[in-house]
Structure 1
Amino acid sequence: MNIQDIRSFFPILDQEVNGKPLVYLDSAATSQKPVQVIEAVDRYYREYNSNVHRGVHTLGTMATDGYEGAREKVRKFINASSMQEVIFTRGTTTALNMVASSYGLDNLSQGDEIVISYMEHHANIIPWQQVAKKTGATLKYLPLTEDGSITIENVESTISDKTKIVSIMMVSNVLGAINPIKEITEIAHRNGAVMVVDAAQAAPHMKIDVQALDCDFLALSGHKMCGPTGIGALYGKKQHLEKMEPIETGGEMIDFVGLYESSWKELPWKFEAGTPIIAGAIGLGAAIDFLEEIGLDNIEKHEHELAQYAMDRMLEIEGLTIYGPKKRAGLVTFNIADVHPHDVATVLDAEGIAVRAGHHCAQPLMKWLEVSATARASFYLYNTKEEIDKLVEGLINTKEYFGNGF
Structure 2
Amino acid sequence: MNALELKKQFPILQQEINGHPLVYLDSAATSQKPVAVLDALKHFYEWDNANVHRGVHTLGSRATDAYEGARDKVARFIGAARREEIIFTRGTTASLNLIASSYGFGVIEEGDEIVITPMEHHSNLIPWQQLALKKKAVLKYISLHPDGNIDMEDAEKTITDKTKIVATSYVSNVLGVVNPVKQLAELAHWHGAVMVVDGAQSTPHMKVDVRDLDCDFYAFSGHKMCAPTGIGVLYGKKHLLESMEPIEYGGEMIDDVGLYESSWKELPWKFEGGTPIIAGAVGLAAAIDFLESIGMDEIHRHETQLAAYAMSRLSEIEGVTLYGPRERKVGLITFNLQDVHPHDVATVLDASGIAIRAGHHCCQPLMRWLKASATARASLYLYNTEQDIDRLADALIQTKEYFG
Q: TM-score interval w.r.t. the shorter chain?
A: over 0.9
Which letter does structure 2 place at the counterpart of 1:183?
Q
Which letter does structure 2 place at the counterpart of 1:180?
P
Which letter does structure 2 place at the counterpart of 1:2?
N
Cα separation, 1, equivalents of 2:326 and 2:53: 49
2:364 — aligned with what?
A: 363
Post-superposition offset of 1:152: 2.0
Post-superposition offset of 1:30: 0.3
1:332 — aligned with what?
A: 333
2:307 — aligned with what?
A: 307
Which letter does structure 2 place at the counterpart of 1:209?
D
Post-superposition offset of 1:147: 0.5
Cα separation, 1, equivalents of 2:178 and 2:314: 21
Cα separation, 2, equivalents of 1:136 and 1:69: 42
Cα separation, 1, equivalents of 2:68 and 2:293: 21
Unmatched tracts of structure 2, length 5 or more? none
Cα separation, 1, equivalents of 2:152 and 2:78: 24
1:322 — aligned with what?
A: 322
Cα offsets for 1:115-138 (capped at 9, x unmatched): 000000000010001100111111
Cα separation, 1, equivalents of 2:230 and 2:154: 35
- Secondary structure in 1 aligned to 2:243? coil
Count of residue correspondences: 403
TM-score normalized by structure 1?
0.99
Post-superposition offset of 1:5: 2.2
2:179 — aligned with what?
A: 179
Post-superposition offset of 1:316: 0.7
- In 1, are the aligned partners of 2:142 and 2:151 still within 8 Å (CA)? no
1:21-32 equivalences under 5 Å are 21-32=21-32
1:34 — aligned with what?
A: 34
Cα separation, 2, equivalents of 1:34 and 1:77: 19
> What's the Cα RMSD here?
0.6
Post-superposition offset of 1:16: 0.1
Residue 344 of structure 2 is aligned to residue 343 of structure 1: yes
Post-superposition offset of 1:203: 0.2
- In 1, are the aligned partners of 2:4 and 2:385 still within 8 Å (CA)? no
1:396 — aligned with what?
A: 397
Post-superposition offset of 1:157: 1.5
Cα separation, 2, equivalents of 1:98 and 1:383: 34
2:276 — aligned with what?
A: 276
Cα separation, 2, equivalents of 1:347 and 1:326: 26
1:208-357 equivalences under 5 Å are 208-328=208-328, 329-357=330-358
Post-superposition offset of 1:154: 1.9
Post-superposition offset of 1:374: 0.2
4+ long deviations beyond 3 Å? none
Cα separation, 2, equivalents of 1:180 and 1:153: 12
1:59 — aligned with what?
A: 59
1:381 — aligned with what?
A: 382
Post-superposition offset of 1:327: 2.5
- Secondary structure in 2 aligned to 1:6? helix
- In 1, are the aligned partners of 2:198 and 2:218 still within 8 Å (CA)? yes
Cα separation, 2, equivalents of 1:212 and 1:302: 23
1:146 — aligned with what?
A: 146
- Secondary structure in 1 aligned to 2:204? coil
2:199 — aligned with what?
A: 199
Which letter does structure 2 place at the counterpart of 1:6?
L
2:91 — aligned with what?
A: 91
Cα separation, 2, equivalents of 1:199 and 1:338: 34
- In 1, are the aligned partners of 2:252 and 2:274 still within 8 Å (CA)? yes
1:189 — aligned with what?
A: 189
Post-superposition offset of 1:48: 1.0
**Percent identity between the two aligned chains:** 68
Cα separation, 2, equivalents of 1:60 and 1:112: 47
